[in-house]
Chains A and B, each alone.
Chain A
Amino acid sequence: MDLETLLTSRDGFGLESATFLQRAICRVIDGAPLDDLLARSSDFDRRCLEAAIGCSASQLPTGAPPTEVVDMEPVRCGKSLRLAALAFCRTQTIDVGIVKPGEQAPRISILATELDQASAIRGHLNMVNEKPALRALKIGEDADSITIRHPRGCAVELRVVAAKRGGYSLASRWSGSTAFDEAPGWYSTDRIVSLEESRDQALGRLLPGAQNIFAGSKWQPSGFCWKAHAEHFGKPTRELVVISPQEVN
């Protein structure tokens, strides 16, 4: 299962009108090669992609999803829908071999500056109930979560959680991925609930194939997202890729 097909398929999340850049960003997040997509793109498309990642497409790491992705796209361009699709995709692609029988099921956590904003992604996840191919994998749901069956049979929970002091809402279980929505707007380390501490808690618990995704539009000249952009934009690695389409002039 790959993110681009899941997001753009009529049987999936249904974004059939996805642009070249939206498809390319899906592949960057998946660590998938862009060759065939680039082969049928225009010069404008390629310039847009290079401006969004700050380097040539050939410099992007491929073969496996990067551990962390900072995705700072403009408003109203499908970030939350993509996060919902990504969360569903990771329920099928993470390696749960390390999880022992009887252990708490891995969780894919969705956090935002406020629970209300994170709930927007829970809303997009209702697509699972609409599409038979997705619904067949669902084993339960409640107001804040959907539980999906992994190909190896274990349950993987997609849950909207409130960010807590020290990032402790992400502790105590394996993480199948963590989505930090509106990440540029989070408080930094000088506050009780901060993005950096939540990130630290998530990093040590990521299963193989899992990711930390920081999505949101640029906002403040401080904090993790600003630093990541300043230090890593245009220098993608397997550990961190920064996407910022607003660099297009």
Chain B
Amino acid sequence: MAFRREHSKLRPQPTRLKDVKRRERSGERSRNQDAKGRFTAGNNAPKGRAVKRIIRRYLGEGAASTDQVEALTQDTLVLFKAFKRALGNDAPQVQDTVARRARWGVLSAWYALHAAELGLGTEDGMAALDMALKLDARAERLDVTSIDLAERLVSKDAVDPHAFAAATFSRPSPATPAPAPALPDAPDEGGEEPGRGS
């Protein structure tokens, strides 16, 4: 959590949307899959499968009664996966919030299109548009909430920053000497000052 200073005291400062840092990606497709997309040995893809199963069921997977529901469910699942990937956090609370955000987002779009079909000036059309706006507002709020949750909750794949910093900025132990970095040549007397300015 970030802090702000107010009257010389630290106060909690929830992350503002504009301050959310860009997610850093490894550039690899997935650490669970090889270049051809096949699962590799020791992958952790099945982790959290109970949560995934519940969320998919709540999103309507396998329960579609009509083609229209099937299409909406598919769109919702695609959006859910995309949102989750963009957030880079698979904590259960984040998944649940993102699932609801995807569901209301898709339904909002459907109601907006339906309002246009009914006629925007008609009573039914205006009622559909009203519903679309309500769902849109709900989806927008959930969007902010999911980012907030993703910032606050530690993903199970998260790296401890202190352990990472300690490993990155510590000299290798003498027992396992690393290849010594080449030191620049000693400057001649009267030569230029090495290094950076003070």
How many A-B contacts if CB must be within 8 Å?
111
Known A-B contacts A40-B180, A78-B195, A81-B198; the reply to A140 vs B4 at CB < 8 A is yes
Distance in Å: Cβ of A43 to nearest Cβ of chain B: 10
By the criterion CB–CB under 8 Å, are B3 and A147 in contact? Answer: yes
Distance in Å: Cβ of B124 to nearest Cβ of chain A: 52
Distance in Å: Cβ of B104 to nearest Cβ of chain A: 33
Q: Is B46 an interface residue (CB 8 A)?
A: no
How many chain-A residues does the 8 Å CB contact rule pick out? 52
Q: What string of 1s and 0s marks CB contacts (under 8 Å) between A50-94 and chain B?
A: 000000000000000000000001111111110000000100100
Contact of A19 among B21, B168, B180, B195 (CB under 8 A): B195
Q: What are the residues of chain A within 8 A of B184 when measuring CB–CB? A: 17, 19
Contact of B195 among A15, A35, A105, A139 (CB under 8 A): A15
Least CB separation from B174: chain A residue: A36
Q: What are the residues of chain B within 8 A of A203 when measuring CB–CB? A: none
Q: In the complex the two chains form, what is the Cα distance from A200 to B70 in whole Å?
A: 75
How many chain-B residues does the 8 Å CB contact rule pick out? 32
User: Per DSSP, are chain B's interface residues mostly helix, strand or loop, or mixed?
Assistant: loop
Q: What are the residues of chain A within 8 A of B195 when measuring CB–CB? A: 15, 17-19, 22, 77-78
Contact of B165 among A4, A76, A80, A137 (CB under 8 A): A137
Least CB separation from B9: chain A residue: A104
Q: In the complex the two chains form, what is the Cα distance from A74 to B13 in whole Å?
A: 42
Distance in Å: Cβ of A173 to nearest Cβ of chain B: 11
Q: In the complex the two chains form, what is the Cα distance from A79 to B181 in whole Å?
A: 22
Q: Is B196 an interface residue (CB 8 A)?
A: yes
Q: What are the residues of chain A within 8 A of B21 when measuring CB–CB? A: 135
By the criterion CB–CB under 8 Å, are A1 and B5 in contact? Answer: no
Pick the interface stretch among B89-97, B132-140, B147-155, B186-194: B186-194
Q: Is B62 an interface residue (CB 8 A)?
A: no
Known A-B contacts A22-B194, A139-B1; the reply to A44 vs B186 at CB < 8 A is yes
Residue positions of A touching B, CB distance < 8 A: 1-2, 4-6, 8-9, 11-12, 15, 17-20, 22-23, 32, 35-36, 40-42, 44-45, 48, 73-81, 89, 92, 105, 120, 132-137, 139-140, 142, 145, 147, 149, 151, 155
